[in-house]
Amino acid sequence: MNKVLVHTLTARLLHWLNMLAITLLTLSGFYIHAPLVFSVFPSMDKARLIHFTFMYIVIFSVGFRIFYAFRQGEAGEIAFHPRDIKGIPGLIRYYLFVSDRMPDYGKFNPGQKAMYTAWALLIGVQGITGFILYWPGPLGYLGYLLGGLAMVRLVHYLITWIFVCTVIVHVYLVFISGFEVFKSMITGYIPQNQAHGGQ
Ligand code: HEM
């Protein structure tokens, strides 16, 4: 069976680095939010150290992934564009089992593009709200414009839940797309007849 390269080594490394960073930011963030309820770290100091380390790492890994997408000329394949809207009914028909074939969208379908674009934007919002919480002195005025520190903290917390829910959907869709799709994010290659998956 012929195999085709679908994810370069750089894209794969950045994917797993993003996954690690977002997982640790979510776990440490939930601990910071409610240490007695979500006690997965030995102390607040440790949770904050993890959070404050991985906030820089996620900004680097997501920022570099965006730069890399443009450098590879694949940004148009990944980012959602208003013209992708017309592809959504076909995708819904497929997921509702009304049609048994996913339309051929190319590398990513409109649902994936919408999710990846939203993640990039939401990491931007987490960066802005997070740094307001981190430097409430110098960035206090910005926090005030956004409704005060309590509001900034609430937004940062609620976006975390958007990540939790959408990552669960993402993992579920990879799971139902089959093992080859999952494996392609490790090896880079997928059998030619499955080259356009649906995670
Ligand atoms: C992108 C850069 C980020 C920065 C600069 C940042 C910064 C911060 C800071 C300074 C705090 C407060 C810590 C404290 O009070 O001790 C915090 C809390 C938190 N962060 Fe982040 N963070 C970032 C990304 C993320 C991400 C990606 C997630 C999850 C997807 C996340 C989830 C949380 C949660 C749940 C809290 C607790 C909020 C609360 O107390 O209600 N953070 N973050």
Which atom of ligand 1 lies nearest, measured to the CA of 159? 30
Which atom of ligand 1 lies nearest, measured to the CA of 59? 1
Mean pLDDT of 16-26: 98
Structure tokens at 47: 């949770």
Q: What is the pLDDT of residue 196?
A: 65
Q: How confident is the model at residue 194 (pLDDT cuts 50, 70, 90)?
A: confident
To the nearest whole number, what is the mean pLDDT of the chain? 95
| Cα(38)–Cα(27) distance, integer angstroms | 8
Q: What is the pLDDT of residue 169?
A: 96
pLDDT tens sequence across 149-182: 999 999 999 999 999 999 999 999 999 989 999 9
Among 151, 123, 110, CA closest to 21: 123
Q: How far is the CA of 133 from the centre of ligand 1 (A)?
A: 8
pLDDT tens sequence across 86-117: 999 999 999 999 998 889 998 899 999 999 99
Structure tokens at 56: 């820089």
**Ligand 1, residues 51, 134, 153: which to mutate, most atoms within 8 A of Cβ?**
51
